[in-house]
Chains A and B, each alone.
Chain A
């Protein structure tokens, strides 16, 4: 024991300092310097003046003083038919309408077209976090929730991209997004993900985040089906620094649509702050401007909610509430919302899980605008809120809340089959189109690899060569379809054709469009119709079962199967003989051990894995060491530890008994005590070892002699209460309680240890 009693700090602070949370750097609220979530020093008051059908003043700025953003919003966002009506409604009333299930979404969406950025921000700022979450769920555009994955790796290895894309599709992601470590690898990444994404089923949309011109070219070649890199900023200076204007972005929006490619914009809290041009305005007000621009330019949707600025936004008081609020603004403005939960905003897993919850339980068009389906180090964007590492946590959260997060569990075997299929398909295409010749070792290493550290595959230089060839030879998706077919990958060829055909009708250009079961669903044919309980998105029974079907779940049969596996060894170690009804004893040194109904008959190991024969031997040795004698009986009317112990004690000549359940929970009891007022309780079966059982026996013998021994302490960190045991405990106990019979008398049991036990 160290003698640091002179420390000038409570040690708890050292422990707190060591937690991941303390890697997060929090910032003081400082509105003058842009560090304000809701109340910027220079946030304008809402207001709108219309003269001769034109905006003459908006949010305190006269038309002649408009910056580019004001001008664009006044010209393209504000709907003169509704502006005066909408702006006449006080923010408090708008806020109440947002959380009122009796006010339909359509009515609020109509009013939003006439609201200025400052009024929109003022209204959502009235809501507390819970109200924002509820309003989001009511206001989001498409009824059915979805999700988007990142598929990237640290080597830009195409084989791994194909395999990981196929897994992402199997997990149920509606969209997958890739990007590159090395910019020139874009064509290779696009081809690889494109092939991987059509293994298993058709309809997963795919994008390759790249330089604007190249991204459009890759789309034109048919490899990608959507884009979300059209970034928008809330101050004019940040916009210019980002090398664009609202008009250049509007031009791009039209460009994507003109090529039949789905497009959404990107914005999010704190990007202006990161870029140094915040104008002392709050995160929320600047984002309201961004979203009005996006609606105005005719983007069907947005990726917002912090995004790359999420860690900075979250360093400010109320920052996470603001991130939720800006997502709410997006859906109120009738935009598809890929609701962030993308770049990890904190090193604390609790903060991460807390932030995603409203979108998981309330749904979102795309809950994560980049769920890392790959490992953190393979994520070329940045580690996401959820990554390959935490994927099963998300699946379990879906199951816990019976909430559709868009994902479905995959099985061990099918995952490997899919990966091999994707790798084979891509390998064939690479060879067939004379792009590269993957070896068997490459393919096999990638199939089983969890991440690129485990692979022996293409080196970055090889990838650059592949990428250049695809681009130079002007390979298109049609070449890939034909190649897949030549290689016998017919379903994949069909799936890929299905995907590129979508662009001909343009159905998936409408708001919130994704593909489910071969059909486009969007805010038009699957609108969010929430108007209270029983409306909006509800799980079907089939989907509920799908969400419940995670790996490694336990049931009664499984418990019995596992126990049955221990039975033969126990049969070789111990013999139990039932000798008829047990009598009250007279020996003052005896300790009666009362075992539960299933002890050694159905259940053969304690929760800590000890064979029950060894436990009984330890108890006997301990009792004898304490100068006592063990008498064993099976209690048949109860399986409860206290009553097992008390029943044993009442038949004991010394008045001292031990009760023990088959799972190992034990008690020392005395015949005159109340049932739950025992002498010693051993409730931590999962951490109770043979030494503890021996000491338990010895103490019982000492009580029998009238001594007062030091109670046995089983050191615990709370393991016994861990979720790892509870299902098994409940199932085991239920097996025992089912064996009890009312008024059945205890039976004397004689045991004979066999072999070397």
Chain B
């Protein structure tokens, strides 16, 4: 696969370059047939978007001039590695007043880097931490 970033010309991926697209366990779109589902050969994991697909969509978004959307896809690519429960746990922590100190968010950022190889998400959490501190959000709400 060439290293040239994808552009709007490659969109929709599923139609222009189906060979680039696979499910989480490497199954191609062509393999995700009704017969395979009936035979029990397809699991929900096979229907999950991959970090690679999200990074490709990020490239396409960027080539359409949508850098902010691309950055979200890049964060999402990292988040594919984070289990559902952890996503919700961190989401909860990011809500106002859920933690009394900046440290728990800073620790979370560290964990995102360490456990999930998610520097962009870590950065988002760190940025939130300093904004919350500045605006006094580490306070009891209920």
Q: Which residues of A contact B (CB under 8 A)?
A: 67-68, 71-72, 75-77, 79, 106, 109-110, 212-213, 216-217, 220-222, 236, 239-240, 243-245, 247-248, 250-260, 295-300, 334, 476-478, 481-482, 485, 490, 493-494, 497, 500-507, 509-511, 519-520, 522-525
Give 22 pairs: A residue, B residue, CB < 8 Å, sorted on A. Answer: A68-B132, A68-B137, A217-B84, A222-B44, A245-B94, A248-B95, A248-B128, A254-B72, A254-B124, A255-B76, A257-B76, A478-B37, A478-B43, A481-B34, A503-B49, A504-B53, A506-B13, A506-B49, A506-B53, A509-B57, A524-B11, A525-B11
Contact A507 B135 (CB under 8 A): no
Contact B128 A298 (CB under 8 A): no
Establish whether residues A525 and B12, one from each chain, have CB atoms under 8 Å apart when the complex forms: yes
State in angstroms the CA–CA spacing of A251 and B91 once bound together: 7
Q: Which residues of A contact B132 (CB under 8 A)?
A: 68, 245
A500 contact from B14, B15, B47, Cβ within 8 A:
B47
A221: chain B residues within 8 A (beta carbon): 44
The answer to whether A247 touches B60, judged by C-beta atoms less than 8 angstroms apart, is no
Q: Which residue of the partner chain, among B32, B66, B90, B95, contacts A334 with CB atoms under 8 Å?
A: B66
Main secondary structure of the interface of A (DSSP, over half): helix
Interface size on B, residues (CB 8 A): 67
CA distance A477 to B42 in the complex (A): 11
Residue of A259, A482, A524 touching B37 (CB-CB under 8 A): A482
Contact B32 A501 (CB under 8 A): yes
| Option from B50, B79, B88, B97 in Cβ contact (under 8 Å) with A213 | B88
Contact B48 A507 (CB under 8 A): no
> Nearest chain-A residue to B73 (Cβ)?
A257
Known: A258-B54, A259-B48. A505 touches B34 (CB 8 A): no
A296: chain B residues at CB < 8 Å are: 68
| Whole-angstrom CA separation of A502 from B29 in the bound complex | 10
Residue of B nearest to A81 (CB): B67
Q: A481-B37, A501-B32 are in contact. Are A511 and B69 (CB under 8 A)?
A: yes
Residues on A with C-beta less than 8 A from B79 are: 254-255, 257-258
**A-B contacts besides A257-B79, A507-B14, 7 pairs, CB < 8 Å:** A68-B137, A222-B44, A245-B137, A507-B57, A511-B61, A519-B12, A523-B64
Say whether B94 contacts A251, CB under 8 Å.
yes
Contact B21 A505 (CB under 8 A): yes
Residues of chain B contacted by A507 (CB below 8 angstroms): 11-15, 57
Given A247-B128, A260-B48, A494:B29 Cβ within 8 A: no
Measured between beta carbons, the chain B residues less than 8 angstroms from A257 are 49, 54, 72-73, 75-76, 79
Q: Indicate whether B80 reaches chain A with its CB closer than 8 angstroms.
A: yes
Within the assembled complex, what's the spacing in Å between the Cα atoms of A501 and B91? Answer: 27
Q: Which residues in A have their C-beta under 8 angstroms from that of B88? A: 213, 216
**How far, in whole Å, are A244 and B56 apart by their CA atoms in the complex?**
30
Q: How far is the CA of A295 from the CA of B87 in the complex (A)?
A: 22
A509 to B137, CA, bound (A): 32
Q: Which residues does chain B contribute within 8 Å of A216, judged by CB atoms?
A: 84, 87-88
Q: When A and B form their complex, what is the total count of cross-chain residue pairs whose Cβ atoms lie within 8 Å?
A: 208
Task: For the complex, give the distance between the alpha carbons of A1 and B25 in Å.
Answer: 85
B-side binding surface: helix, strand, loop or mixed? helix
Best-surrounded residue of A68, A216, A217, A239 (most CB of chain B within 10 A): A68
B107 proximal to A (CB < 8 A): no
Residues of B within 8 A of A239 (CB): 96
Q: A75-B127, A296-B68, A497-B34 are in contact. Are A258 and B80 (CB under 8 A)?
A: yes
Residue in contact with A504 in the complex, picked from B11, B49, B73, B76, CB distance below 8 Å: B49
Give the residues in chain A near B84, CB-CB below 8 Å. 216-217, 220
Q: Which of B22-78 contact A (CB under 8 A)?
A: 22-23, 29, 32-34, 37-38, 42-44, 46-50, 53-54, 56-57, 60-61, 64-73, 75-78
Residues of A within 8 A of B48 (CB): 259-260, 503-504
Q: Which of B12, B94, B141 has the most CB of A within 10 A?
A: B12
Residue of A nearest to B70 (CB): A298
A-B pairs, top 8 by smallest CB distance, nearest first, are A298-B72, A257-B76, A247-B128, A260-B49, A258-B79, A248-B94, A507-B12, A505-B14
B63 to chain A, nearest CB (A): 9
Shortest Cβ distance from A154 into chain B, in angstroms?
Answer: 31
Q: Which residue of B lies closest to A255 (CB)?
A: B87
Nearest neighbor of A245 in chain B, beta-carbon distance: B96
Asked whether B11 lies within 8 Å of A247 as measured between CB atoms, the reply is: no
Contact present for A243 and B127 (CB under 8 Å): no
A residues in contact with B141, CB < 8 Å: 240
Instruction: Please measure, in the bound complex, the distance between the C-alpha atom of A110 and the C-alpha atom of B96, giving whole angstroms.
Output: 33
